[in-house]
């Protein structure tokens, strides 16, 4: 899994920063997007990610700097030969936004889109590998954060010990890895619990939309390997941040600290801050949370097990 920031600017793009969008690669070679500000598909062209491999889009809220890139991106995915269904999640109003823009522009897609408007907080998607939870944040309009939690993974197979037991590599290794005991030809039973180490915890990635500091930000970020939190302003402008429904870098760090996250990646920076000025936001955040960074666009951030 890797995070790619396709845009880290708040409100409008500037010369070296686009508006908000984040890509999260999946273990099967596909990827998800979180928000899709204007120009997001242009940023994708500067990454190794292929639009036809996009399977899900998660929208945090419907402010323009988070959604104005959607119609064009959906159209390009079709033009590039995408045929697999695309699932979109977001606040109420997402369906009207998309269906209206596609209808008026007479945009015809070669694949189905399935839109899920969030009706209640909690788990909104689950499969065999991952669970995604959503919760409301504190912004001027309805805004959500998402917690992506991997399932536990089987432990490491002790191949050396199995070889000592006279069991060569083969299909039985897969059975043991899957939790099944194996009976050998001589009647001995090799137990999975003896052959496989302890289960490995899954990774947790929390991506928050625009928000003031709030309890749900801490809840969604609890124990996260990576917490993505907006840091629109330096703390000297805390009053302005609160007025517009945003957070400061220091407040983002306080949320990460309270949540017990391992790493904080800050994004959604006001256009007043140049690339050089982002170092000041990092310094501010690190007063409270040492592993805090201002996200750099088009740079992969691996999420190790």
Burial class, 281, CB count within 10 angstroms (exposed 0-12 / middle 13-18 / buried 19+): buried
What confidence score (pLDDT) does residue 152 get?
87
Per-residue HEC secondary structure of 121-143 comes to CEEEEECCCEEEEEEECCCCCCC
Strand (E) positions, the chain? 2-7, 21-25, 31-34, 54-58, 86-90, 113-117, 122-126, 130-136, 144-150, 182-183, 189-190, 204-208, 226-230, 264-267, 292-294, 300-302
Strands 31-34 and 21-25, sheet pairing:
antiparallel
For the chain, the C-alpha Rg in angstroms (whole number) is 22
Q: Is 293 annotated as a binding residue?
A: no
Q: What are the angstrom distances between the C-alpha of 34 and each of 3, 39, 171, 251?
A: 10, 14, 39, 22
Q: Domains of the chain: which residue ranges?
A: 2-153+203-302, 159-195
Task: Check the annotation: does 210 bind a ligand.
Answer: yes
**How many helices (H) and strands (E) in the chain?**
11, 16
Residue 268 marked as a ligand binder? yes
- Residue 118 token pair: 């969030």
Has 239 been annotated as catalytic?
A: no
* Under 8 Å between Cβ of 115 and 88: yes
Extended beta strands in 151-263, E state: 182-183, 189-190, 204-208, 226-230
For the chain, residues with pLDDT lower than 50 are: none
For residue 276, CA distances in Å to 125, 252, 279, 280, 281 come to 39, 19, 6, 8, 10
122 beta partners:
134
- Walk across the sheet containing 292-294 and list its strands: 122-126, 130-136, 144-150, 204-208, 226-230, 264-267, 292-294
pLDDT of 195 reads 85
Q: How far is CA 104 from its chain centroid?
A: 31
CA 120 to chain CA centroid, Å, is: 20
Q: Which helix (H) or strand (E) holds 255?
A: helix 249-259
**CATH code for 2-153+203-302?**
3.60.15.10
pLDDT on residue 244: 97
Give me 275's structure tokens.
Answer: 């690339």
Question: What's the pTM value of the predicted model, to 2 decimals?
Answer: 0.89
Choice among 16, 28, 35, 65 that is catalytic: 65
63 is in an annotated binding site: yes
| 65 labeled part of a ligand binding site | yes
Structure tokens at 214: 């709030």
């Amino acid at each position: 899994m890797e995070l790619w920031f396709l845009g880290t600017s708040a409100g409008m793009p500037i010369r070296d920063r686009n508006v908000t969008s984040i890509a999260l690669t999946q273990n099967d070679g596909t990827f998800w997007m979180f928000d899709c500000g204007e120009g997001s598909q242009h940023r994708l062209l500067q990454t190794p990610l292929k639009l036809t491999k996009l399977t899900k889009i998660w929208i945090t809220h419907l402010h323009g700097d988070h959604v104005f890139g959607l119609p064009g991106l959906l159209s390009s995915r079709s033009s590039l030969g995408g045929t697999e269904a695309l699932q979109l999640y977001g606040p109420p109003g997402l369906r009207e936004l998309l269906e209206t823009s596609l209808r008026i522009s007479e945009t015809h897609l070669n694949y189905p889109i399935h839109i899920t408007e969030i009706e209640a907080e909690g788990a909104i998607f689950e499969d065999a590998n991952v669970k995604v939870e959503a919760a409301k944040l504190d912004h001027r309009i309805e805004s959500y954060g998402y917690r992506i939690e991997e399932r536990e993974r089987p432990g490491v197979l002790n191949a050396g010990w199995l070889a000592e037991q006279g069991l060569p590599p083969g299909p039985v290794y897969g059975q043991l890895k899957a939790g099944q005991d194996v009976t050998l030809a001589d009647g001995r039973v090799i137990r999975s619990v003896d052959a496989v180490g302890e289960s490995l915890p899954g990774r947790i990635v929390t991506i928050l939309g625009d928000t003031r500091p709030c309890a749900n930000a801490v809840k969604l970020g609890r124990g996260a390997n990576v917490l993505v939190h907006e840091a629109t302003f330096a703390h000297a402008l805390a009053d302005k941040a609160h007025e517009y429904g945003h957070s400061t870098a220091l407040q983002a760090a306080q949320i990460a600290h309270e949540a017990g996250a391992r790493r904080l990646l800050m994004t959604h920076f006001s256009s007043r801050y140049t690339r050089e000025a982002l170092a000041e936001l990092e310094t501010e955040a690190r007063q409270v949370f040492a592993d805090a960074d201002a996200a750099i666009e088009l740079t992969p951030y691996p999420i190790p097990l």
